[in-house]
Amino acid sequence: MFADRLPLATAYAELLAVEATVRGLIGPREVPRLWERHLLNCAVVTELVPDGARVVDVGSGAGLPGLVLAIRRPDLEVTLVEPLLRRTTFLELAVEQLGLAGQVTVQRARAEQVEATYDVVTSRAVAPLDRLARWCLPLVGPGGTMLAMKGSSAPDEVAESATRWGRLGFDQPVVHRVGGHLVDPPVTLVEVRRAR
């Protein structure tokens, strides 16, 4: 999955197991499941990310999925947006130790404070889809996409919000299940594409 970047992924897993756990960003019970539940789970998101995309990860937390995307895909330019200082401190440490400073930027802010637009806006377990859309959709550039990692309730969330997308200038959301060949269960992604 990570090919020649596997040593970087391994170094990041070690940072999560030690530094992120000590800082309360990852629970100790998650450490044995870091690869399956976090790294591989996030890496499969790249199946829907175009080559050379500018990506912003909203509510990045410990860097999931943003740092994993950057590790897996050196062609991506990734911005990690996170409002909490203890999390951005960890993210800055991770970017420095992994040597990703030329590819990854950490921005301490709320999504509403970010003024740029991006090709892809990612998030993982941040908020219900309707609230997430209010935060993320303004960051999606023309022809861009929001990719929200969601749980099994994703189809219900999409159905509840079915009427609002068109008037906001977006196509109807599509629910994808990706990575079934690597993780069980597959990752559920809600893709919302902005009209060009």
The answer to whether the beta carbons of residues 30 and 37 sit under 8 Å apart is yes
Residue matched to tokens 């090919």: 3
CATH architecture label of 3-193: 3-Layer(aba) Sandwich (3.40)
pLDDT at 158: 87
Question: What is the average per-residue pLDDT within 1-6?
Answer: 94
Band (pLDDT 50/70/90 cuts) for residue 196 is: low
Least confident stretch, 41-45, 123-127, 136-140, 166-170: 166-170
pLDDT of residue 193: 92
Contact at 8 Å (CB) between 161 and 186? no
Residue holding tokens 């170094």? 11
Burial class, 159, CB count within 10 angstroms (exposed 0-12 / middle 13-18 / buried 19+) = exposed
Percent pLDDT > 90 in the chain is 76
**Element spanning 144, H or E:** strand 140-150
Q: Is the pLDDT of residue 162 over 80?
A: no
Which tens digit of pLDDT belongs to each residue from 101-129?
999 999 999 999 999 999 999 999 878 88
Cβ within 8 Å of residue 156, ≥6 positions away: none
Q: In whole angstroms, give the CA distance from residue 79 to residue 113.
A: 14
Element (H, E) at 81: strand 77-82
161 pLDDT tier (thresholds 50, 70, 90): confident
| pTM over 0.85, yes/no | yes
The pLDDT of residue 67: 98
Task: Tell me which of 135 and 51 has the higher pLDDT.
Answer: 51
Distance separating alpha carbons of residues 165 and 83, to the nearest angstrom:
27
